[in-house]
Each structure stands twice: as structure tokens, then as C-alpha cells.
Amino acid sequence: MRQFQFEYETDEKFFKQLEQIKKWRNTAVAAGTIFTIYTESLDMSRVQAVITRIKYVLPDAAYMGCSTNGNIYNGELSKKKIVIICTIFEYSTTNYELLQYNLDAQSVEHVTTELTNEINSNPWVKAVVIHTTIRGMSMSDFCDKMQNVRSDVQMFGGGALSEDLNDDNAFVFSSKGAISDHSIVIALIGGEDFNVYTTYITGWKPLGRMLNVTKADGSTLYELDGKPAYETYFKYLGIKNDENFFRNSLEFPFIYEHNGIDILRAPSASLPDGALAMTSDIEEGARARMAYGDPQTILSSVRVEFDKIAIFRPEAIAMFSCAARKFFWAMDADNETYPFNSIAPTSGFYTAGEFLRTGKYLNQHNVTLVIAAMREGYAPADIYEYDPGMLEFNGQVSMIKRLANFIKAATEELEEANRKLEVSAKSDWLTGLYNRSEIQNRITDAIENTNQYYDKNGVFKPVSVIMMDIDDFKKVNDTYGHAEGDQVLKELAKLLKIITLENADTICAGRWGGEEFMMLLPDKSAEEASEIAEQIRVRFAEIGYSEAANQTISLGVTQSKPNENPDETCRRSDDALYTAKRNGKNRVVVL
């Protein structure tokens, strides 16, 4: 595989460059030629002029390309509007095929079915290169439907964009179709001697607290924590809901787990109602955080992937990098791309979204650098040597990392404090069991929910409760003091915790007040609950105290009735407990 890269300057110069490629092909082994054309300009006439020259000089060559937010030329951000990459395959076993489809929400089913069949019916296919228009369209359905592609096939690519981030116009094109603003171009490449290695780099780290996606529909994110999603950007970053929202929010995407990996997801627009239009679906119920770019983490990841790709020994490297990364690095966008050009010719473009298959899933990424390294034949056996200094970071934005670490630590402390407050609000201060309010809420929920359900035979599923009271507890306090009385209460609480663990996770207990306790037993009949109550009675009587010796407990058991008010169930358990007390204490009564 040989690759030639050109920055388009003038038609005359490009014509001469094409003639040189033609001469080289005539003196070397050339099994096939593909041109990839990336343009920041939306002037289609300029693209058409490039295509016309290619057709004239090399009529047998294929071509594909798209509009971009910047072009990667020999590993660097090109200063020219158009970059042309010519890839020549030298092995006769290497095959390729270009495809182009119109793509919108209605055509996804047809496109993915036809594309999957085409790939799976051609065992030589090893790589699927994607260039597509995506602004204003969710690609989630497309990605999901590509799961049936053979597991050995790599898929990667990017979404077309324009020089102006606020301009939704973008297009793709190929030798199989016209220049189009609603299409997808696919290059199938493979063969027994063709090899490909793919990876991705993020380097963006979570920032701030966890946010819950409380309302979403497809690619529209309506609410986070019950509030309009846009408010998160305004509250924490001061980003206004105006025509510059997309550009200003790019560097602060959301990060959440999807298909087993962390995915970054950036909004493409903020809507008038405060909802966010995303470039891919985000599921309702997902938990996400905002993220920020950490240069040191990014370059550490670059170094790791650099070493892996160096071992692979590619002959060409394709990169698909989010436009947000270009803005993040500002004047130093080459920091993460240029080192790879020392391994092999490196080219690519800055995208509206990146695609990469991980496992069986094709994922759409945002704010991510996707890398595809390609080679024909075996990798050379010699060791690749490089200058480690090329991946050093000068620390110019280390303050950002320190501030982010400060925010992270403060957020973790606040979340821990909130967790403790939540537990405290539900717990009894002395025993650690649920307090009365919480155990009462749980009994109410269990009974009201159960009243809606019957088992498969139409039999009502009961909820049972046990109310218990330590016998003659006032004497313990009066005779031995409140410290000893507290110890008796704690030992009963400890026993109830053990009993709940021994029986079922759904059983729970709480302190009802003073020396009274309540236990909730979902899906337990009164008979089953009475057996557990008897265990509590016997085992509590066996506990010895340093001063109060042994104590006893009385218990009242009842089960809910169909359509019964929870208060009525609790009242019957109280009646059962009163009966146990009146009949001699230290016993279990069922009503």
C-alpha cells in the first residue's frame, strides 16, 4: 500500500500531481486506486473541479469524500481548504467496493439491510469506512441495525461537517453517486493480505455531579434531574441559548456508559423549550456527567495507542477527530495527531461525529479521536524507533486539571454528605433500623402495590407485618438506667437485622417508637410470618445483658386483606400485640 497526500492549491498544480501518480503507477504494481477528498469549503464547484481532474487523468480510480471542519494532512491540521489523499493498493488480493445510499430516518431500514447483506455475502471484506451526513439526524437506529455484520469486520468513519459549526449544511460524495447533503458513502476494503487495526482516544474526564436523564425521546434530551436539559449548561458554564450554543458547548459533552464503554455525547443544538438536540439517542433513565478535556490524560492515551499502532506497522493511518478536539487544542491541534505520521502517512478530517465498532456494536462517538491503521502483507520484524519527546506535554493548561480535580473532590464530598443525610433521614438514631416514618412508608407502598396483584392462580398475594414490644421495658430503665435500656434496644435491633438477612432481602424492620418495633414481610402469609415471629421471640429471650440479665418480647402478627387500607393492617397487628400482652406476655399472637 502506498499513499500520496496533496493540499489543493491550483488546478494546474493538481494536474501535475496526478500525472506524477499516473507515472508511478505505470512503473509499479498497482492493484487499485482510491482518492479521498476532504473539503472545508461548501463550494461544490471546487469539489467538482477536483473530481473532473481525477476522472480525466486516472479514469479507473475510485473516489469518495465529504465536507469537513478541518483536514488532517500528514498528521497536521491543513491550512488549505481541500486535501486529497491517494491510496494505491499493491497486492492483487486486495479488493474494494464503493457504495452510496440516500439516508434519512425513513431509509435506514433499507440501507442497513442492503449494506449488511452486501458485507456478509463478501467474505473478503475486512473494513467498512463510513462518510455520512448526520446533522439534524439521529444515527442510533443505523448503528443498532449494523450489529448483524460479521464480527470480524471493522467499521469506522465520521460525519460530514462544514467550516462554520453553526451551519447545518454538509455533504458527501463518491464515484458511485452525486454530491449529496443526505447520503452515506461506504468503502468496503479487504482481502487475504489486507490488515486493519482500529482504536479510539477520548481523554475527557467526568466533571461535577451525576445527572439523571429524567425525560428523553430519541435524540432529544428534554430533562436532567427534572429540569430543562439546557439549564445544566447555563447554570454551570454560563453558556447561553443562542446561535453560538453548539460551538460553545462542544468542549463539554456528557459522558455515560453505553454498550459497555464510556461514550461522550455532545448536543448539536439547544431548542427554544430548553431541550437539547443530540446527534444520537440518549436513553431515558441513563445517568451521565458533564466532562472536560484533560491534556495530560489525552496525551497519555495517545502514547499508549501510539505504541500499539507502531507494533502493528501500518502503511497508512486514517483519523476521524471531532471538531470539539480541534477547538480544545486551539493552536496545538497537532499535539495528538502529528506523532502518528512518524509511523505512517496520516490523514483524516474533523467531524460532526465519529463511528467505531467495539465488539459487535457500532457506536457513534462525539469529542473522540477514532484511528484506523491499515497495511497490506505482513508487518516487518524490525523494531520501530521513535522520539519519545514528541509526545511530551508542556503543562500549559495544568491549572485546568487542578481545578477539575478540586471540583471532582468537592463533588464527591458533597455526594457522600448527601448520601449520609439521606440515610440519616430514614434511620433511627439509636438502633440504625428504619425510623417510624420510613417503615410506615414501606408498609404503605407494599400493601398498596400488592392490592393490584394476584398470583397466576388468581390467589391474592398477602403482605404480613409483625409488631413487637419489649416486655416490662420501663422496669429495665427504672432499675438499671437508660444506658442499659439502650443496650437492650440495640440488641433487639441487631437480632432483627440478622433475621432479615436470613429470610429475604425484601423483609425489613424499623423502630416504631420507644420499645416498639415493626417488621414488614412482603409475600408472606400470616402463618409464615408467625414462624419468623417465634424465631425472634425465642432468640431474643436467649440474649443476656450485664445487668438486666434476660428479657422477653411480645409480638402481634397479621396479614393484609384485599383492598385493605394499610392503617387497618397496622391496627390489627397492634390489636394482636395487645392480646399477647394481656394473655401473659412473651408470646406470639396472630389476628
The residues carrying an active-site annotation are 515
Q: Map residue 278 onto helix, strand or coil.
A: strand
The answer to whether the CB of 426 falls within 8 A of the CB of 435 is yes
Give whole-number Cα distances, 311 to 199, 307, 314, in Å. Answer: 14, 6, 9
Contacts of 590 (CB under 8 A, 6+ apart): 526, 527, 529, 530, 556, 557, 558, 576
Question: Rounded to whole angstroms, how far apart are CA atoms 187 and 94?
Answer: 13
The answer to whether the CB of 81 falls within 8 A of the CB of 8 is yes
Question: Rounded to whole angstroms, how far apart are CA atoms 442 and 453?
Answer: 17
Question: Rounded to whole angstroms, how far apart are CA atoms 544 and 547?
Answer: 9
DSSP string, 19-49: HHHHHHHHHS--SEEEEEEEES---HHHHHH
Q: Exposed, middle or buried: residue 56 (CB in 10 Å: 0-12, 13-18, 19+)? A: exposed
Question: Rounded to whole angstroms, how far apart are CA atoms 31 and 25?
Answer: 9
Question: Rounded to whole angstroms, how far apart are CA atoms 344 and 311?
Answer: 12
| DSSP-assigned beta bridge partners for residue 31 | none
Q: How many CB atoms lie within 10 A of CB 37?
A: 24
The answer to whether the CB of 554 falls within 8 A of the CB of 508 is no
Contacts of 373 (CB under 8 A, 6+ apart): 196, 197, 198, 309, 312, 314, 316, 317, 343, 344
